Structure 1
Amino acid sequence: MSEPFLIGENMTGGYGTGADILHGCTLAVEKGEIAVIVGPNGAGKSTAMKAVFGMLNLRTGAVRLDGEDITGLTPQARVGKGMGFVPQTSNIFTSLTVEENLEMGAFIRRDDIAETMAQVYELFPILKDKRSQPAGELSGGQRQQVAVGRALMTQPQVLMLDEPTAGVSPIVMDELFDRIIEVARTGISILMVEQNARQALEIADKGYVLVQGRNGFTDTGKALLANPEVRKSFLGG
């Protein structure tokens, strides 16, 4: 059996010298797949994803990308390896224009970014219309598009999204999910934490239900949606 493209395996750890938040947690995603992490508040969802990105200390476990052990790498070094991370808040430069935000996303690149910029504008046409506008003047949904677009400017192999639809309307949520599906179709792996569990599992190839920092249920998105226990405990029946 070949290993998943990205795996955080048996991760136990927490922030700094604090108590462990994760307890033997495993997350994995294949190339071009969408993997969604859901679960109750305080389950360690965002912490688990941050662990994969190198933002907390693991006491046990390992993170491997395309077969390479990257457990000891800083988040910055992981970006260089092809990982993009979009935090839930403070994820854009509000005083810079939309286009300047996208240019900031490409800071590690030394090649021509024009083609990637064009791809981002194709994915998010509204950003092209508003490219000269300060990002702080945009709506919540548009800001999220800027944040995702900026991460795509690094040409990541894996895109990690922390609650991309937090605080946006249902219409905007559907639109963002459609764009996320489009990104995955280009071969980029998506790992995301999402509060809108039912809607997220509908687009997920793989779903992880975390409970108190542990894997509660792991299956395809469709199977988790159909699982009576998952429905009752985590999806409101």
Structure 2
Amino acid sequence: MSFLSATNMTGGYGAGPDILHDLELSVDKGEIAVIVGPNGAGKSTGMKAVFGMLNLREGAVKLDGTDITGLSPQERVHKGMGFVPQVRNIFPTMSVRENLEMGAFIRDDDFEPTIEQVYELFPAVYEKRNQNAGELSGGQRQQVAVGRALMTQPKLLMLDEPTAGVSPIVMDELFDRIIEVAKTGISILMVEQNARQALEIADKGYVLVQGRNAYTDTGEALLADPEVRRTFLGG
């Protein structure tokens, strides 16, 4: 069984119409799974469904074999999920270090070694540790946001558009760091608009269309699929 197994997810926001239709997502231990697709395909909605942020009318979410479908997002964090939203993902008036400390809110042990690990993973975060997070560049803010999520010591890290609005050089650096995180055994589920680049680092890829699974395969196989290339990757 996959470490994360989300099956037959059907639902939407509140009493609104269904956005997801029998959506299936799974991630193995230490695997990078990437969700791509056109605008409005339900990519971020699928991520939020896994994290318990919308109503599922059907389907189930299991983490490490445990059914967590009925748990709140806060309870899922305690079970080992870390979530980095696309926007409003830092505390801009707090220092970088204080942002990381906020990520350790569920812990009652010594979290200093984890802060050191984040500094090692993101040298720019260490260099800016005493600055207000709101003064950082877009790429540096994303590093702080990911670092704060890592402070919870997640088993599954979910990233919603981590490279939105950053330069290609910063995007490549972020992807390199994400690969390093996965190598530690943390599972990664990521929504990404830069589909081609994301699939290059993906063990598994999901192409969504109108809230449904259109294609599922390894990142390498999806990049080589002529139909996927023509329809979603610009040829």
Is 2:159 aligned against 1:161? yes
Instruction: Read off the aligned partner of 2:193 and give its amino acid letter.
Output: Q
Kindly indicate whether residue 218 of structure 2 is the aligned counterpart of residue 217 of structure 1. no
CA offsets, 1:207-236, max 9 Å, x none? 000000000000000000000000000000
**SS of equivalent to 1:165:** coil
Residue 191 (structure 2) aligns with = 193
* Alignment match, 1:106: 104
TM-score normalized with structure 2 length: 1.00
What residue number does 1:147 align with?
Answer: 145
Question: Residues 68-147 of structure 1 correspond to what in structure 2 (within 5 A)?
Answer: 68-147=66-145
Q: Identify unmatched segments of 5+ residues in structure 1.
A: none
Which residue of structure 2 lines up, in the alignment, with residue 58 of structure 1?
56
* % identity of equivalent residues: 80
The aligned length equals 235
Alignment-mate amino acid for residue 187 of structure 1: G
When the two chains are superposed, the root-mean-square deviation of aligned CA atoms in Å is 0.3
Instruction: Compute the displacement of 1:132 (Å).
Output: 0.4
- Residue 9 of structure 1 corresponds to 7
Where 2:213 maps in the other structure, the secondary structure is strand
Name the structure 2 match of 1:175: 173
Stretches of structure 2 that go unaligned for 5 or more consecutive residues are: none
What is the CA deviation profile of residues 20-60 of structure 1, one whole-angstrom value per residue up to 9, with x for unaligned ones?
00000000000000000000000000000100000000000
Amino acid corresponding to residue 140 of structure 1 in structure 2: G
Q: What SS does the corresponding residue of 2:199 show, helix, strand or coil?
A: helix
**Segments of 4+ moved more than 3 angstroms:** none
Shift of 1:7: 1.1
Residue 76 of structure 2 aligns to a residue in which SS?
helix
State the alpha-carbon separation in 1 of the partners of residues 128 and 173 from structure 2: 18
The CA deviation at 1:203 is: 0.0
CA deviation after TM superposition for structure 1 residue 167, in Å: 0.3
Query: What do residues 102-149 of structure 1 show as CA deviations (whole Å, max 9, x unaligned)?
Result: 000000100000000000000001111110000000000000000000
